[in-house]
Amino acid sequence: MLIFISGASRSGKSEFAEDICGRLCGVNGRKIYLATAQVYDDDMRRRVERHKFMRRDKNFVTIEKTHNLHEILDLIDLNDNILLECLPNWAANELFIDDSLKDLDYIKAKIFNAVIDLNLKAENLIIVSDDIFADGKIYNEMTESYIKLLAELHVMIAARADKAIECASGLAYYFK
């Protein structure tokens, strides 16, 4: 099953996703926390440590992979439940890996194909993403390209997902 969870920053989506993963995990399956964040400053380091602290007693196996997620497919078993945290980090890592703007269609296909492959390899794949589309600002070309990429991935993944959920103010709203 593919579950897509989005919401604003600090909306409760990560904790909600962890709870879903725990409920879906069978007797023989592992709970895999697929962490895509690159730690590039103290604020990000604190956020990563906070997430680790929050899931310390939840028996997750953590795999840290910032890009090229298709490279971990051999580590995944059919009974595994993957919580991918998070799509915006992964997309940014793929798009800006060497500080040059990449072909958006190529990156979009690369990410979406990896989502499909991970979903086929595991029993359940839960993807967490941020809703970064509501501020109404116009940004520079690179940032606008990133926002467009993420928006298109949201549409593609939500369409493919068995469940699409948005978290707001600690509440979950099911769209499908």
Query: Can you identify the CATH homologous superfamily of domain 2-174?
Result: P-loop containing nucleotide triphosphate hydrolases (3.40.50.300)
* 86 prior amide bond cis, ω within 30: yes
Residue whose pair of structure tokens reads 């990156």 in the numeric block: 107
Angle, CA 15 vertex, CA 73 and CA 145 arms, to 5°: 60
**According to the model, what pLDDT value does residue 100 have?**
61
Per-residue confidence (pLDDT) for residue 23, from 0 to 100:
92
Cα–Cα distance between 148 and 157 in angstroms, integer?
14
- Rounded mean pLDDT for each run of 10 residues along the chain, 176 residues in total: 94 92 86 93 88 85 95 96 96 83 88 98 97 86 92 98 95 95
Which amino acid makes up residue 85? E
Q: Tokens standing for 3?
A: 């579950």
Q: What is the pLDDT of residue 85?
A: 95
What phi-psi label fits residue 59: left (phi over 0), alpha (psi between -120 and 50 degrees) or beta? left
Contacts of 176 (CB under 8 A, 6+ apart): 158, 161, 162, 163, 164
